[in-house]
Structure 1
Amino acid sequence: MPEEDLVEVKFRLYDGSEIGPFWYSPSSTVGYLKEKILAEWPKDSKLNPKAVNDVKIISGGKILENSKTVGQCQMPFHELQKGAITMHVVVQPAVAKTKAEKKIDEAERKSICSCSIL
């Protein structure tokens, strides 16, 4: 594939550090980018994602969907710039409720008053 068809992308992490830049095919998916980010994630970071779904990529003010391609994420003004596209990366791990929290939630639902005065 000719180099002119490739897109240069770098990732800015939540703490200001960067991963990349790397060259990707315009047909590469955001899910693939997330896998590469996990592989390159700094080991000394305070917050480490455990899975691809813990990573959110933001470009142009929008959170990118895993099924979108790099080519779809390019901004129209990208041709004016001669450099890498910077995408922001945040970690948003899935929060699982503990058993105690679930019991509290269920108890609150059971003790709701449902009186009606006519």
Structure 2
Amino acid sequence: MPEEDLIELKFRLFDGSDIGPIRYSSSSTVAMLKDRIISEWPRDKKIIPKVVNDVKLISAGKILENNMTVAQCASPFGELPAGVIIMHVVVQPSLTKTKTEKRIDELPKKTTACSCSIL
């Protein structure tokens, strides 16, 4: 890979800690970045993403789509010499139901009658 084809990225987690900086090819996709983030995620965190769809990347105020390349995501500020692009990471785990959870409409309904009088 030619040196000018590499872009240095740092990923800022929700608690302010970082993963990286790591150099990526400008042809790398956002899905590839998310895979790398999941593999390098600190195991001491309370929230740990398990799949690519649990992670959202935000760059320059935009949520990045999985099929976009790093070159498409780079803002004009990324063209600064020796600049590191910081992307923010948001974790939104997919909602899976556990056996102990009950849906609201499955809970017993309480019927109470109001006995208030407004004069």
Alignment TM class, shorter chain as reference: 0.7 to 0.9
Partner of 1:85: 85
CA drift of 1:7 comes to 0.4
The residue correspondences of 1:1-118 to structure 2 (distance < 5 A) are 1-80=1-80, 82-97=82-97, 100-101=102-103, 104=105
**2:26 partner letter:** P
Measured after TM superposition, the shift of residue 97 of structure 1 is 4.6
Q: Provide the C-alpha distance between the structure 1 equivalents of 2:75 and 2:81, rounded to a whole number of angstroms.
A: 10
Runs of 5+ consecutive residues of structure 1 not aligned to the other structure: 106-118
Q: SS at 1:45's partner residue?
A: coil
Name the aligned partner's letter for residue 23 of structure 2. W
Between structures 1 and 2, the one with greater helix share: 1
RMSD across aligned C-alpha pairs, in angstroms? 2.0
SS in 2 for 1:65: coil
User: How many residues are matched?
Assistant: 106
Shift of 1:81: 5.5
Please report how far the alpha carbon of residue 8 of structure 1 lies from its aligned counterpart in structure 2 after TM superposition. Answer: 0.4
Look up the match of 1:111: none
Distance in 1 of aligned mates of 2:57 and 2:83:
19
- TM-score, length basis structure 2: 0.80
Q: CA deviation at 1:77?
A: 2.9
CA deviation string 1:71-94 (max 9, x = no partner): 000012322353210000010011
* CA-to-aligned-CA distance 1:15-42 (integer Å, 9 cap, x gap): 0000001111111000000000001000
Report SS of the residue matched to 2:102: helix
Q: Is the 8 A contact 2:78 2:84 kept in 1?
A: no
